[in-house]
Amino acid sequence: MPEVDPAEYARAQEYSAAKNNFGFVADLYGLATGLVHLWLQAAVWNGPALSLVLRCGGTASHELARAGASMLLCAPWDLLSGVPVDLYRTFVLEERFGFNKHTWLSWLGDSLKHFVVEELLMGSLMMAPLVLLVRSLGPSSWLYGFGFTSLFVLLLNVVYPVWIAPLFNTFAPLPEGDVRDGVEALVKSSGINCSRIFQVDGSRQSAHSNAYVAGFFGSKRIVIYDTLITHLDGDVEDICAVVAHEIGHAQLHHNYALLGVSTAQLFVMFRLFGVCTDPRLVTDFGFDAPCAYLSLLTFFTLWSVAMPLVSFGLNAFTRQLEYQADAYSVRLGFDIRKALAKISKTNLSDLNPDPLDSLFHHSHPTTVQRVLAVKQLLDTCERKAL
């Protein structure tokens, strides 16, 4: 690592400790609200949702109508139960360390948009066809459900950067100047098929910095946070080193690799759903009678319990992709170590996390690990040159 100032290191450790302590409390709160949510879903489904459907001329067997009514009636709880954690994280924890850039109004607007778009709209668009498939196809529905969900995820990756991400931030073409010239030259030298280069106003929400290459096929684009340019002091070499890393992800087909891993997870999940046919899977959750919607809902709830173990394996995989992308940046002629050190400093990254906690929670290697890997690669290249 480049020289680390003791005061800055202490500040980063203080930030990490504050996040970890808050995370422990937030996890306990999430467990409590999750249990309340399980009870509330059954209570609403058996009572108010059914009454609403009956008043509108439906019957108890109209499960999509009951599902819609149940989602709407539970929506206030789903939205408000997460508010205390997000409020504290944004306006206390992040504010204390100088990262929060939200106003109360902008935070409220973003929270409502995320809930409506990602929870209600996307959830409904995925769940409704799955219910129809399970109702219509019986034992073989798991295979068609897997196919539909895989296509849904692929479509979401295509449309998200074009239609959904702009709902939350402003994406403008990277301004003319040395940075744009350097990035365009980098795009040309790397051979990536991507002409869209955007700067996003991440500073509207947070002082944290980032860059990424998003999208599939015709929606591919390079996105650079305005905070990244600021944190790297407008240094073209450092900015290009980071962008080269992100281009590396695209050129090494990491997006397809991650899509493949996600598809494999979906296959395992739906195959298990295909054998979980016992009606007690629904009634033991407190619902009055099984149906396709409730079978999916309760199974997904049980599957979520196994997700931490899945995340453990996925994080191990993505850490290897990060090393590969760093190596790609080096092969294009950039020494990314200085940029990594600057980003680590401005983001108050933990340079010395607990190894087990890092293995379980972190999708990226630590900055020290990445800098060491780049150093070893550069040393190897130098010995070969000699």
Give the DSSP letter of residue 100.
B
What is the rounded average pLDDT of the residues 195-220?
A: 89
The pair of three-digit structure tokens given for residue 8, joined into one six-digit string:
């800055």
Among 228, 249, 270, where does a domain finish?
Answer: 249
The answer to whether residue 265 is domain-embedded is: yes
Quote the CA–CA distance of 269 and 3 in Å, as a whole number: 47
Active site residue 237: no
Residue range 268-286, pLDDT digits in tens? 999 999 998 888 989 999 9
Instruction: Give me the catalytic one of 63, 110, 246, 350.
Output: 246
The pair of three-digit structure tokens given for residue 197, joined into one six-digit string:
């280069």
What is the rounded average pLDDT of the residues 357-369?
A: 89
CA-based nearest residue to 234, from 209, 254, 252: 209
56 plus 109 within the same structural domain: yes
- pLDDT at site 368: 92
The answer to whether residue 77 is domain-embedded is: yes
Q: Give the number of other CB atoms < 10 A from CB of residue 381.
A: 12
Q: Compute φ and ψ for 224, nearest 5 degrees.
A: -120, 125
Type and span of the H or E element at 223: strand 221-225
Residue range 125-141, pLDDT digits in tens? 999 999 999 999 988 99
- pLDDT at site 168: 92
Q: Which residues are annotated as a binding site for Zn(2+)?
A: 245, 249, 322
The pair of three-digit structure tokens given for residue 106, joined into one six-digit string:
């902008």
Residue 368 or residue 385, greater confidence: 368
54: which residues sit within 8 A by CB, 6+ positions away?
A: 60
What is the rounded average pLDDT of the residues 352-370?
A: 88
261 plus 340 within the same structural domain: yes
Quote the CA–CA distance of 112 and 106 in Å, as a whole number: 10
* 3-class secondary structure, 173: strand
Residue range 147-181, pLDDT digits in tens? 999 999 999 998 999 999 999 999 999 999 999 99
The answer to whether residue 152 is domain-embedded is: yes
- pLDDT at site 1: 65
Measured CA distances, 46 to 43, 103, 207 (Å): 5, 40, 46
43 plus 96 within the same structural domain: yes
Type and span of the H or E element at 300: helix 292-331
- pLDDT at site 125: 92
Residue type, position 217, single letter: F
Whether 292 and 135 have beta carbons less than 8 Å apart is answered as yes
Instruction: Give me the catalytic one of 63, 110, 238, 326.
Output: 326
Q: What is the mean pLDDT of the chain?
A: 92
Among 226, 249, 272, where does a domain finish?
Answer: 249
- pLDDT at site 295: 94
The answer to whether residue 1 is domain-embedded is: no
Length of the chain: 386
Q: What is the DSSP string of 197-245?
A: EEEE-GGGTBS---EEEE-SGGG-EEEEEHHHHHHTTT-HHHHHHHHHH
Quote the CA–CA distance of 75 and 193 in Å, as a whole number: 42
* CATH at residue 189: 3.30.2010.10
235 plus 276 within the same structural domain: no
Measured CA distances, 303 to 57, 176, 253 (Å): 35, 48, 28
224 plus 117 within the same structural domain: no
Domain with 201 in it: 171-249
pLDDT-derived band at 2 (thresholds 50, 70, 90) equals low
Quote the CA–CA distance of 138 and 36 in Å, as a whole number: 31
Residue 374 or residue 313, greater confidence: 374
Whether 207 and 95 have beta carbons less than 8 Å apart is answered as no
Active site residue 184: no
- pLDDT at site 386: 63
134 plus 276 within the same structural domain: yes
The answer to whether residue 104 is domain-embedded is: yes
180 plus 267 within the same structural domain: no
Quote the CA–CA distance of 336 and 219 in Å, as a whole number: 27
79 plus 147 within the same structural domain: yes
350 plus 317 within the same structural domain: yes
Among 249, 268, 300, where does a domain finish?
Answer: 249
- pLDDT at site 151: 96
- pLDDT at site 258: 93
Do the strands 211-214 and 197-200 form a parallel or antiparallel pair, or are they unpaired? unpaired
Residue 383 or residue 181, greater confidence: 181
Whether 160 and 214 have beta carbons less than 8 Å apart is answered as yes
Measured CA distances, 195 to 173, 237, 246 (Å): 11, 20, 14
293 plus 342 within the same structural domain: yes
Q: Give the number of other CB atoms < 10 A from CB of residue 316.
A: 12
Whether 270 and 149 have beta carbons less than 8 Å apart is answered as yes
- pLDDT at site 228: 94
Quote the CA–CA distance of 291 and 66 in Å, as a whole number: 11
343 plus 211 within the same structural domain: no
The pair of three-digit structure tokens given for residue 286, joined into one six-digit string:
């407190």
254 plus 369 within the same structural domain: yes
∠ CA(114), CA(118), CA(123), 5° rounding? 150
Looking at the 3D structure of the chain, how many domains does it have?
Answer: 2
In this model, does residue 308 exceed pLDDT 80? Answer: no
